[in-house]
């Protein structure tokens, strides 16, 4: 069957506000593309000038010359199709979907390797002057099913396209072209907050702070979920439509599992403690801190170095680095409650096990799911996608259509959209694993430096300090 793509024509910022509409009509009605006008139809005229003037007069009649000027459908076919059959599909589609409510023109382009059709219709109704309004889910509920029904009538093979939650075609198309959608932005925001929150209540508060309108809903089939409407968004989006891992129970599980992970860089995020003066008659409670002998060794060494530098005018780099290492070791031991050599060894074993686990995950991800030839095909597709986006920005209709034709061929032969999504996810996972792995390795090196001092520590007579309350 055929796949229908929907685009809209905005008001031009300078000069003629309907310039994009004018250029679009002239483009799809070119003689060289339509076999000298043989494959053109519609209800607004027989030449592009006549069609354009008809649409302008409708806008002027109802005083609606501003805003979106028109809409453009592109209907592509999975297999080679005869121009006569494509013409009938377009004619039937316009009759059933648009009727006599809107001025429209359609054409069949036969100048490329695979025949396809274009439909452009006015944004203002010729009957009541109301503007065409695309409702959420219209593409899946009415536009594509109508195309399927008409194609089935003429014996075209079924075109498999993504289903799922109802959503507008524009969003679906942006996802296919790799552009960010509201759903993608919501996923990113939720994923970025999960490492920072303690529960779903805090997650909701943080989302509200980011400008989201948040409420909770419940589905009989899937359970509880969140409904989010981003600031600037026209519609609310349910987290159950974001994919796996975004139902309320899944979010709670992700938060708990994240908290259970070993925080590899915890020792490097410990704030430095500054001293402050507390008067003797202050009501502030004075608490006595008793470090273990193991911890006291590093605290004492740090204090000795600090006092020593108060009587020296110069410091060399080696001495400064030594003091910094001692301070880092003190903070780490105190913050992580490591009070003995046994505690240190247990911590090191935990880190080592986590590093091994990450290396195993990394090895699995390096076992690529694509062959060398498939990589080349995906790279070619991404290059075409980049060029097509630039052609759309520059309003190069011919170039955009040629690039779109090439991409459609690749999409029909290979699952490139699936490859692209998997490759992006693989790279993202590798980056996250490498970041966590290096943080754990830095912590492991700190533990090695602490252990290397054990021989020196055993030679020093360590005694428990006497701390007197005042």
Do 85 and 15 belong together in one domain?
yes
3-state SS assignment for residue 283: coil
Q: Are 423 and 378 spatial neighbours (Cβ–Cβ below 8 Å)?
A: yes
* 193 plus 164 within the same structural domain: no
Q: How many CB atoms lie within 10 A of CB 96?
A: 12
CA dist 120 and 71 (Å) reads: 6
Residue 444 CA to residue 335 CA, distance in Å, equals 16
Q: Are residues 380 and 440 in the same domain?
A: yes
Q: CA–CA separation, 221 vs 161, rounded Å?
A: 25
Q: Are residues 195 and 270 in the same domain?
A: no
Q: How far is 221 from 463, CA to CA, in rounded Å? A: 65
Strand 104-109's sheet: what is its strand order? Answer: 2-9, 70-77, 116-122, 104-109, 40-42
Residue 176 lies in a domain: no
Q: What is the CATH number of the domain that holds 106?
A: 3.30.930.30
What's the token pair of residue 331? 């903070």
Round to whole Å and give the CA distance between 42 and 126. Answer: 14
Q: Are residues 359 and 431 in the same domain?
A: yes
Q: CA 87, CA 93: separation in Å to the nearest integer?
A: 10
In eight-state DSSP terms, residue 124 is B
| C-alpha–C-alpha distance, residues 173 and 407, integer Å | 13
Q: Are residues 254 and 377 in the same domain?
A: no
Q: Could you tell me if 54 and 429 are in contact, meaning their C-beta atoms sit under 8 angstroms apart?
A: no
Q: Is residue 332 part of a domain?
A: yes
Do 266 and 253 belong together in one domain? no
Question: Would residue 302 count as lying in a domain?
Answer: yes
Domain annotation covers residue 280: no
Query: pTM here?
Result: 0.41
How many helical (H) and strand (E) elements, i.e. helices and strands, does the chain have?
16, 8
From CA 409, how far away is CA 14, in angstroms rounded? 37
Q: Closest Cα to residue 70, out of 4, 7, 9, 115? A: 9
Q: Would you say residue 309 lies in a domain?
A: yes
Last residue of a domain, one of 171, 203, 236: 171
Structurally, the chain folds into a number of domains equal to: 3
Q: Which residues pair with 255 in a beta bridge?
A: none
Report residue 443 as tokens.
């912590």
- Polymer length in residues for the chain: 470
Taking the chain, what is the end-to-end CA distance rounded to the nearest angstrom? 88
Residues 310 and 429 in one domain: yes
Per-residue exposure over 104-121, b if at least 16 CB sit within 10 Å of its own CB, e if not: bbbbbbbeeebbbbbbbb
164: domain range?
2-171
Q: How many CB atoms lie within 10 A of CB 453?
A: 16
Give the 3-state secondary structure of residue 167. coil
Residue 89 lies inside a defined structural domain of this protein: yes
Predicted confidence pLDDT, tens digits, the chain (470 residues): 566 677 777 777 677 888 889 988 999 999 989 988 899 999 999 899 999 999 999 999 999 988 889 999 888 876 678 889 899 999 999 999 999 999 999 999 988 777 889 999 999 999 999 999 887 678 778 888 888 888 888 887 654 444 334 344 445 445 444 445 677 778 888 888 888 888 888 889 888 888 888 988 887 777 888 999 887 777 788 888 777 778 888 888 778 766 545 444 444 444 444 445 556 565 555 555 555 666 666 666 656 555 444 444 445 556 566 666 777 777 777 777 777 778 888 888 777 777 777 776 676 676 556 677 888 898 899 899 888 878 776 767 778 778 887 888 888 888 888 888 888 888 888 888 888 888 888 888 888 877 776 655 555 444 445 554 54
Q: Give the span between the Cα atoms of 185 and 332, in whole angstroms.
A: 37
Please state, in angstroms and rounded to a whole number, the distance separating the CA atoms of residues 428 and 361: 13
* 102 and 232 housed in the same domain: no
Asked whether the beta carbons of 417 and 455 are under 8 A apart, the reply is no
Q: Is the residue at 68 inside a domain?
A: yes
Query: Are 191 and 154 members of one domain?
Result: no
Q: Based on the fold, state whether residues 451 and 322 are members of the same structural domain.
A: yes
Residues 82 and 219 in one domain: no
Q: Is 146 helix (H, G, I), strand (E, B) or coil?
A: helix
**Residue 97 forms part of a structural domain:** yes
State whether residue 153 is helix, strand or coil.
Answer: helix
Strand partners of residue 104: 121
CB 222 within 8 A of CB 250: no
């Amino acid at each position: 069957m055929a796949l229908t793509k929907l685009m809209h024509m905005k008001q031009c910022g300078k000069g003629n506000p309907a310039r994009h509409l004018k250029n679009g009509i002239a483009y799809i009605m070119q003689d060289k593309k339509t076999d000298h006008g043989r494959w053109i139809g519609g209800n607004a005229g027989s030449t592009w000038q006549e069609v354009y003037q008809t649409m302008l007069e409708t806008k002027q009649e109802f005083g609606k010359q501003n805003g979106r000027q028109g809409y453009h459908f592109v209907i592509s076919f999975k297999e080679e199709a005869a121009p006569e059959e494509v013409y009938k599909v377009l004619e039937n589609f316009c009759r059933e979907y648009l009727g006599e409510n809107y001025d429209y023109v359609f054409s069949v382009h036969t100048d490329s390797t695979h025949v396809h059709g274009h439909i452009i219709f006015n944004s203002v109704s010729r009957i009541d002057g109301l503007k065409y309004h695309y409702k959420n889910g219209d593409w899946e509920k009415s536009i594509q099913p109508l195309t399927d029904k008409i194609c089935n009538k003429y014996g075209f093979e079924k075109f498999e396209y993504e289903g799922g939650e109802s959503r507008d075609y524009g969003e679906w198309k942006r996802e296919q072209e790799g552009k960010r959608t509201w759903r993608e932005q919501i996923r990113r925001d939720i994923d970025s907050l999960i490492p920072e929150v303690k529960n779903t209540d805090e997650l909701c508060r943080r989302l509200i702070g980011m400008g989201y309108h948040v409420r909770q809903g419940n589905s009989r089939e899937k359970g509880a979920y969140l409904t989010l409407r981003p600031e600037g968004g026209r519609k609310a989006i349910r987290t159950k439509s974001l994919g796996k891992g975004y139902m309320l129970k899944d979010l709670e599980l992700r938060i708990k599992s994240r908290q259970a992970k070993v925080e590899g860089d915890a020792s490097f995020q410990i704030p430095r403690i500054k001293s402050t003066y507390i008067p003797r008659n202050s009501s502030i409670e004075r608490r006595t801190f008793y470090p273990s002998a193991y911890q006291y060794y590093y605290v004492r060494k740090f204090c000795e170095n600090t006092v020593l530098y108060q009587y020296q005018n110069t410091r060399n780099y080696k001495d400064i680095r030594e003091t910094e290492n001692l301070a880092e070791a003190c903070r780490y031991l105190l913050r992580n409650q490591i009070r003995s050599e046994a505690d240190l060894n247990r911590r090191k074993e935990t880190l080592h096990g986590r590093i091994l686990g990450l290396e195993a995950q990394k090895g699995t991800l390096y076992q690529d799911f694509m062959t060398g030839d498939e990589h080349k095909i995906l790279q070619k597709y991404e290059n075409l996608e980049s060029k097509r986006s630039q052609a759309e920005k520059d309003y190069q209709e011919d170039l955009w259509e040629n690039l779109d034709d090439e991409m459609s061929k690749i999409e029909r032969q290979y699952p490139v959209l699936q490859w692209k999504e998997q490759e992006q996810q693989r790279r993202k996972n590798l980056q996250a694993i490498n970041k966590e792995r290096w943080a754990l390795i830095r912590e492991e090196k700190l533990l090695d430096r602490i252990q290397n001092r054990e021989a020196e520590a055993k030679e020093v007579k360590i005694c428990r300090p006497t701390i007197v309350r005042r």
